[in-house]
């Protein structure tokens, strides 16, 4: 392992905190074996008195406890990967699901000064008031209500002070620990910690880019332009930066508050159908979907009955080709066409290392057969998707990250629908889209576009063919054409032929020695020993030894 780089003083303290927490929960060997402990002063590395007591918990419980104690970055890590059955075992997933975003409110946080410094304004010139008490607090940001001079009610989503610096420090430590785990722990190697941290780094960096979140919100609004069933919060760009977002305050009812909806004369069953319809439209029509549609991010506006999604920091994007592949996957599942499902999975997968294709085929067949055995009104797509992710994990198939976001989103949104309406069935929402997918696949427009694309490919091939042929001919003329030919099994054939030729040569030599020795014996050629020619006797002995050697070789290799 390469020499560990000595960290700065602040980083040393973070390493020391991490070391003490790991030691507290029985993971001290992780950093000791990695060599990181050599860079930390001894005073930081005292043992922890609670270690023995904590060892009574399971390994996965202790992992969750470590994340909770280390703070926001690590809690966020656990939350993001609580839906990755493709990468983590079910027991660990169950523990990570217990993590809640319980970040405390910031102490001594001067909201007014933070806003003025960030926007380079005087607060009174733009705001009538800003509530110093947070409306909500999360790992990365804190939300405050405010009123603009024109009377608009808004919320200000403000990043925690120095959060980028803290995250950068935490990411550095996470990477070092991941490398140590992957090198020294056989159990951890199966979890691929380095890949986990790389994926987490991408996700958390995206969440920190508030300009990106604003772009996502406005793109989402454009996709649903003209749809009266949905409302998207307005963004105040002039009062926003990459570390602060000013947006419309949504005075609505959380979709999980069923009794409040009923009190406002809103039918929860209708909300369930419309909300899930809107979510499926995001996936199959727009290819741009909300990746975290939990009840806290979906409101109903009592005045209009419109659905309002909040928090567009985590969004999933489906490429146009993948959108068609998703439609095909849905159809293959309905048809129970396991072989085509496998072909499609291999096509869209980021990585495949399938140890046994027969097992994969059997697993998928059991999954699709199980669906057909359930009556339509009892189908739970969340359960099916969880089983599907387990099949992927066990057969070492890694799909693009957005697909896991999509699966998680569908599981959550179905749960929301069932909470609103116990008789809710998401297959009713999917049915119009499956019919549309079938019509689209066999539409004249699609067939024309596909054949036109193929014609263009053929045309491009014809255009470049003469140049390619000329290039090949020129290489032949110049003697520069290199042909690499691989004949599978040729080495084995050459070895067998070589052995056969060697044995044939031995046989010829034995025959020659036998004939020559016979002639010498018959001619009584001296020198004689007891009347027997010595050279003839030597020839017979050599013939016998070589013949015996060949017979033994043939029987030894079962070549007879």
State the Cα–Cα distance between residues 284 and 265, nearest whole angstrom.
31
C-beta of residue 25 within 8 angstroms of C-beta of residue 66: yes
Instruction: Write the burial class of residue 459 (CB in 10 Å: 0-12 exposed, 13-18 middle, 19+ buried).
Output: exposed
pLDDT value of residue 237: 95
C-beta of residue 114 within 8 angstroms of C-beta of residue 158: yes
Q: Specify which residues 528 forms β-bridges with.
A: 533
Could you please report the per-residue DSSP string of 44-61? G----TTHHHHTTS-HHH
| 3-class secondary structure, 308 | strand
CB atoms within 10 A of CB 104: 7
C-beta of residue 521 within 8 angstroms of C-beta of residue 543: no
Instruction: Write the burial class of residue 256 (CB in 10 Å: 0-12 exposed, 13-18 middle, 19+ buried).
Output: middle
State the Cα–Cα distance between residues 450 and 461, nearest whole angstrom.
17
Instruction: Write the burial class of residue 286 (CB in 10 Å: 0-12 exposed, 13-18 middle, 19+ buried).
Output: middle
pLDDT value of residue 187: 61
Q: What residues contact residue 147 under an 8 Å CB cut-off, 6+ apart? A: 127, 128, 129, 153, 154
- Torsional class of 92: left (φ above 0), alpha (ψ -120 to 50), beta (otherwise): alpha
292 included as an active-site residue? yes
CB atoms within 10 A of CB 427: 14
Pair of tokens at residue 336 = 């129970």
Helices within 315-443 (DSSP H only): 320-335, 338-348, 357-372, 381-394, 401-420, 426-441
C-beta of residue 189 within 8 angstroms of C-beta of residue 179: no
Pair of tokens at residue 103 = 């970040």
State the Cα–Cα distance between residues 297 and 277, nearest whole angstrom.
16
State the Cα–Cα distance between residues 179 and 84, nearest whole angstrom.
20
What pLDDT tens digit does each residue of the chain (560 aa) get? 344 444 566 666 777 788 788 888 887 766 565 555 555 555 555 567 777 778 888 888 988 888 888 877 888 888 777 766 656 777 888 888 777 655 667 778 899 999 999 999 999 999 999 999 998 877 788 999 999 999 999 999 999 888 888 888 888 888 877 887 777 666 666 667 787 788 788 878 888 889 999 999 999 999 999 999 999 999 999 999 999 999 999 999 999 899 999 999 999 999 999 999 999 899 888 999 998 888 888 999 999 999 999 999 888 898 877 887 887 887 787 778 888 889 888 888 888 888 888 999 898 888 887 665 454 455 677 677 778 888 888 888 888 878 878 887 888 888 888 889 888 887 777 777 777 777 766 667 666 666 666 667 677 777 777 777 777 877 777 776 666 655 555 566 667 677 777 777 777 787 777 787 777 777 677 777 777 777 777 777 887 787 777 777 776 665 54
State the Cα–Cα distance between residues 57 and 307, nearest whole angstrom.
43
Give residue 47's Cα distance to chain centre: 36
**Could you tell me whether strands 141-148 and 307-309 are parallel, antiparallel, or unpaired per DSSP bridges?**
unpaired
Q: Residue 72's closest CA among 109, 115, 105, 24?
A: 105
pLDDT value of residue 232: 96
Buried b (16+ CB within 10 A) or exposed e, 336-367: ebbeebbebbeebbeebeeeeeeebeebbeeb
| 3-class secondary structure, 462 | helix
Cis amide prior to 527 (ω within 30 degrees): yes
| 3-class secondary structure, 139 | coil
State the Cα–Cα distance between residues 16 and 41, nearest whole angstrom.
8
Out of 292, 311, 363, 421, the active site residue is 292
pLDDT value of residue 559: 54
Question: Looking at the chain, how many residues does it have?
Answer: 560
C-beta of residue 41 within 8 angstroms of C-beta of residue 6: no
| 3-class secondary structure, 146 | strand
């Amino acid at each position: 392992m390469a020499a560990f780089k000595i960290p700065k003083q602040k980083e040393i303290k973070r390493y020391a905190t991490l070391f003490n927490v790991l030691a507290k929960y029985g993971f001290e060997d992780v950093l000791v074996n990695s060599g990181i402990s050599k860079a930390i002063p001894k005073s930081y590395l005292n043992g922890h008195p609670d270690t023995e007591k904590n060892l009574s918990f399971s390994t996965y419980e202790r992992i969750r406890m470590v994340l909770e104690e280390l703070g926001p970055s690590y809690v966020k890590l656990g939350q993001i990967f609580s839906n990755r059955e493709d990468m983590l075992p079910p027991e660990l997933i169950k523990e990570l699901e217990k993590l809640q975003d319980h970040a405390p409110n910031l102490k001594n946080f001067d909201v007014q000064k933070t806003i003025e410094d960030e926007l380079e304004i005087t607060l009174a010139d733009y705001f009538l008031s800003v509530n110093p008490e947070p409306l909500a607090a999360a790992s990365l940001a804190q939300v405050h209500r405010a009123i603009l001079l024109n009377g608009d009610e808004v919320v200000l989503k403000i990043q925690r002070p120095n959060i980028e610096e803290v995250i950068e420090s935490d990411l550095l430590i996470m990477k070092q620990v991941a490398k140590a785990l992957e090198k020294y722990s056989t159990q951890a190697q199966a979890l691929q910690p380095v890949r986990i941290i790389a994926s987490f780094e991408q996700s958390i960096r995206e969440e920190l880019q508030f300009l990106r979140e604003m772009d996502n919100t406005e793109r989402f609004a454009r996709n649903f332009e003209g749809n009266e069933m949905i409302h998207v919060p307005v963004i105040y760009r002039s009062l926003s930066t990459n570390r602060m977002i000013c947006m419309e305050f949504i005075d609505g009812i959380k979709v999980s508050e069923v009794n409040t909806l009923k009190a406002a004369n809103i039918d929860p069953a209708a909300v369930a159908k419309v909300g899930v319809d809107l979510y499926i439209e995001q996936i199959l029509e727009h290819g741009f979907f909300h990746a975290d549609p939990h009840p806290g991010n979906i409101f109903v506006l009592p005045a209009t009955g419109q659905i309002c999604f909040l928090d567009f920091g985590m969004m999933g994007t489906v490429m146009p080709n993948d959108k068609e592949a998703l439609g095909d996957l849905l159809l293959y599942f309905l048809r129970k066409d396991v072989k085509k499902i496998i072909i499609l999975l291999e096509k869209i997968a980021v990585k495949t290392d399938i140890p046994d294709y027969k097992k994969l085929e059997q697993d998928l067949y059991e999954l699709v057969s199980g669906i057909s055995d359930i009556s339509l009104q009892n189908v739970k797509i969340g359960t099916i998707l969880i089983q599907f992710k387990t099949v992927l994990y066990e057969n070492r198939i890694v799909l693009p990250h957005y697909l896991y976001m999509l699966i998680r989103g569908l599981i959550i949104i179905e749960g929301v629908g069932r909470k609103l309406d116990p008789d809710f069935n998401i297959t009713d929402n999917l049915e119009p889209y499956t019919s549309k997918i079938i019509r689209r696949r066999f539409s004249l427009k699609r067939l024309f576009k596909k054949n036109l694309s193929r014609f263009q490919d053929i045309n491009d091939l014809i255009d470049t063919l003469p140049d390619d042929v000329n290039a090949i001919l020129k290489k032949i003329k110049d003697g520069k054409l290199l042909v690499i030919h691989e004949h599978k099994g040729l080495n084995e054939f050459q070895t067998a032929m070589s052995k056969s030729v060697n044995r044939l040569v031995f046989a010829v030599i034995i025959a020659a020695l036998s004939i020559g020795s016979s002639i010498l014996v018959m001619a009584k050629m001296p020198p004689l020993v007891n009347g027997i020619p010595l050279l003839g006797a030597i020839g017979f002995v050599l013939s016998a030894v070589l013949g015996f050697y060949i017979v033994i070789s043939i029987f030894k290799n079962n070549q007879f």
